[in-house]
Amino acid sequence: MVKAFAYTRVSGKGQLEGHGLERQYDAIQKYASNTGYQVTGVYSEEGISGTTDESCRPAFQRMVTDILRNGVNHVIVESLDRLARDLQVQLQLSAYCASKQIELISAATGENITQAIMEDPMRRAMVQIQGVFAELDKSLVVRKLKNGRLRAREQSSNRTLTGRRKCEGRKSLRETNPELLERTRQLYRKPRKGRRRTLAEVGRILFEEGFSTSKGKEYAPAQIKRLLGC
């Protein structure tokens, strides 16, 4: 059987309209059982508007992170309007999945949305454009990190007029890497709707964006906590 993740979403209004999480999951599970898929993970957004993009969807981001880690690359939604109500956001999220080689499937229609995107020249162009901007963003982050390390090295090598190194304590990440501090604060900030990300989730997202320890590893929750001054 092909392993897949289930993605469900409700807003406050969606609950009243009968699009509850359990009902969506039942529809996804029924489709999966009939078509040879095994649902191995469920990612649910509660109180998330259908007009928000991936940056404001913590469950969606966790799902993508887990996909990139363990190789499960099929995601089943009950229908496209459960992914997003706004057409533009639908296209954006669908293109995002396609750019990550994630097979997005609608249980309501059985359509492989990713395949449909790649077969449509205009929609495929959206994926390619999104990929270009994602690579550009990654390059900018890497450059910022490099510049931050260079500045830190220059600061640590400053000497007084006597030729002695300044007698200063070891600078913290808060001082040497302001870009990391600002991005960490953005990720940990509680959204207007939904829950705040955990410190571990913040560390995973930072790692995906190119922020890592001096050993090239993810920042641990304790390190994130110290960085935020919690």
In the 8-state DSSP scheme, what is residue 162? T
The sign of the dihedral angle between the CA atoms of 67, 21, 80, 209 is: negative
User: What gap in Å lies between CA 147 and CA 216, rounded to an integer?
Assistant: 17
pLDDT at 17: 52
Q: In the beta sheet, which residues pair with residue 42?
A: 6
pLDDT at 16: 44
Kind and range of the H or E element at 208?
Answer: helix 199-208
3-state secondary structure of 172: coil
pLDDT at 162: 38
Reference 49, options 172, 182, 194; nearest CA is: 194
pLDDT in tens, 162-171: 344 444 556 6
DSSP string, 76-130: EES-HHHH-SSHHHHHHHHHHHHHTT-EEEETTT--BHHHHHHHSHHHHHHHHHH
Backbone angles phi, psi at 19, to 5 degrees: -100, 45
In the 8-state DSSP scheme, what is residue 40? E
pLDDT at 85: 76
pLDDT at 88: 73
Backbone angles phi, psi at 35, to 5 degrees: -120, 10
Q: Which two tokens stand for residue 96?
A: 């995002």
pLDDT at 117: 77
Architecture of the 2-130 domain: 3-Layer(aba) Sandwich (3.40)
3-state secondary structure of 211: coil
pLDDT at 31: 96
pLDDT in tens, 79-103: 888 888 777 777 778 878 888 888 9
Which residues of the chain are modeled with pLDDT < 50? Answer: 14, 16, 159-167
Sheet holding 74-77, edge to edge: 37-46, 2-10, 74-77, 103-106
Q: How far apart are the first and last CA of the chain?
A: 45
